[in-house]
Amino acid sequence: EAGVAQSPRYKIIEKRQSVAFWCNPISGHATLYWYQQILGQGPKLLIQFQNNGVVDDSQLPKDRFSAERLKGVDSTLKIQPAKLEDSAVYLCASTPGGEGEQYFGPGTRLTVT
């Protein structure tokens, strides 16, 4: 069974530029999560989708971050414009029905200069 796929694996941009990350969850998994992991910290949830609906986006900085999961399968997370403090690893995870083990992708390491 294929795992959670993410791309790109690495991205370097200048502040005020925009960037997008892509995630393809495990086939059949209804729930998808985006986490931000700043160096030396644990991951923090940004947004949770159940199929193509948003369940929790309370910690998403909506003035610059957006995410979508239009067909209830893959998802895109965008940052526009980026700030230096957005430098982090962005992790995508999925579960079949929202409970139990979350399966994580390899992450996208973003560096904002």
Partner 1 sequence: GDSVTQMEGPVTLSEEAFLTINCTYTATGYPSLFWYVQYPGEGLQLLLKATKADDKGSNKGFEATYRKETTSFHLEKGSVQVSDSAVYFCAPNYNQGGKLIFGQGTELSVKP
Per DSSP, the residues of 71-112 read TSS-EEEEESS--GGG-EEEEEEEESSSSSPPEE---EEEEE
- The nearest distance, CB 69 to partner 1, in angstroms, is 16
Task: Report the residue number, 35 or 82, with the smaller CB distance to partner 1.
Answer: 35
- For the bound state, the minimum distance from the C-beta of residue 104 to partner 1, rounded and expressed in Å, comes to 4
The angle formed by the CA atoms of residues 62, 28 and 78, to the nearest 5 degrees, is 20
By CB under 8 A, name the binding residues for partner 1: 4, 31, 33, 40-45, 48, 55-56, 91, 93, 97-102, 104-107
Shortest Cβ distance from residue 13 to partner 1 (Å)? 22
